[in-house]
Amino acid sequence: MKKIEFKLFTNILLRSELLRSASILISGTVIAQLISILLQPFLRRFFSPESFGIYSVYMSLVGIIIVISSLRYDDAIVLPKTDKESANVLSLALLLSFIFDLLLFVIVMIMGKKLIAFLNLPSNFPVRILYIIPLSAFLYNSYQCINYWLIRKRKFYSVSVNKLFRRSSEGISQVTFALIKRSNGLIYSDIIGQSVNVITVIFQTVKNGLTFRFVSLAKLKYVFKKYKDFPKFNLIPAFMSACSYMLPPIFINKFFSSESAGYFDLTKLLLSIPLALVAASFSSVLLQKVSEKFNNRQSFLNELRPVVMVVSLISVIEIVVIILFGEYLFRIIFGDTWIFSGKISKIMVWSFAFNFIVSTFTSIFVSMRKIKTYSMYQFFYFISILSLLFFKSLGFVEFLKIYVIIEVICYTVLSCIMVFIVTRYEHSLRVSQQQL
């Protein structure tokens, strides 16, 4: 009986088109991320916890900005039925991002020193680093918008190649800056990597049929109105979601120290490996596949089942490994300086395991046009994370425990919402078929 069940399980996995598509993305993502991950033992011995803490704050700020700069129109690039309309949505997203980031650059120039004091960055932190943030946000937005075109065209191999180029160039830059002892080399390397990424993704999209010949002011206005639900109902919730994920490093840096933020950053990096290697790839493929099925009023439940099996198994393995060998792994891989990251990993692993499972499927909200529902959840999540402000007087470890409890509760609520939405949709399909 067990052999039959195992054979059935493997057959489901092998027959899944979604898994086959995701495997292409995952293979490229794994290789790309491995470059970054394998460099960490070297980099952590050249850059201090404080340097990584500042880098974490920088990345958090960029992460918040990129969510709102294109007003969420980038999420709509895969949805139009024609390439002409999709090209106009892409152009609109790029234009909005450029305008927003340009205005942000002006604000940073005016308020640079005040921002450094507010974020509790070191007094010797160079203001010019803040000027890079708008540029970094625009580069990332540009890549993300154009990358959605490749996903729309199912060019998953091209997406994987682009990720490989990005991580390779970033890795080479990080090693170079480490050897010449530039404390802000991590930030400069990020810019170099993103610049290479944009160049390669532009080449790939032009090669795969993207043209701006059909873009016009009239059509930009048309898609602006047609997909207005994205900024109207998804902008603020997405901003709140980004803040919910990116604010903890900023809070830790402000309430405790850049060194504490550096320890948190390494733990977050290691625990996010499944999220970076697998969840993002599955989510991208799900966005395309579920959108297609939903537009044609077809069931996609059988496509989701093998994905649930895979991500659940990975989460269990991650929890067991960290609980049993967390401190030992951090000491061996990163050195004695980072043992504390191993200690707090046993606390944080629970929230990251839940995050990994849930994040894999959040693209369902976009694919099924359930933006309003997701928006209500994001508001709940944002308020929950903001409640951390009431615990800033606690010690660092106690603060992390409260953070993990909040995260687990929020992800549990979100998973229940997704199950309800998918179940109701599948039920409506069965009712329609019975009526026919």
Q: For residue range 295-352, list pLDDT tens digits in order.
A: 777 777 777 777 778 778 888 888 898 999 888 888 888 888 888 998 999 999 998 8
Give residues with Cβ within 8 angstroms of 280, minimum separation 6. 25, 29, 359
Could you give the number of structural domains in the chain? 1
Distance CA 191, CA 194 (A): 5
Q: Which of the given ranges, 64-68, 231-235, 268-272, 275-279, has the highest pLDDT on average? A: 64-68
Mind listing the pLDDT tens digit for each residue in 394-418? 999 999 999 999 999 999 999 899 8
Place of tokens 């529902």: 373
pLDDT band at 274 (very low <50, low <70, confident <90, very high): low
8 A C-beta contact, residue 25 and residue 150: no
Which tokens go with 382? 């944002």
* pTM > 0.85: yes or no: no
Mind listing the pLDDT tens digit for each residue in 31-62? 766 777 788 888 888 888 888 888 888 888 89
Q: CA distances (Å), 320 to each of 49, 204, 348, in order?
A: 26, 40, 13
Q: What is the pLDDT of residue 99?
A: 94
Q: Which domain holds residue 269?
A: 2-435
Q: Which of 35, 58, 48, 56 is nearest to 334 (CA)?
A: 48
Q: Which of 202, 70, 88, 98 is nearest to 147 (CA)?
A: 202
Q: What is the pLDDT of residue 309?
A: 81
Q: What is the pLDDT of residue 96?
A: 93
Q: 143 φ, ψ to 5°?
A: -60, -45
**Residue 80, Cβ neighbours under 10 Å: how many?**
18
Q: What is the pLDDT of residue 348?
A: 92
Q: What is the pLDDT of residue 34?
A: 74
8 A C-beta contact, residue 385 and residue 308: no
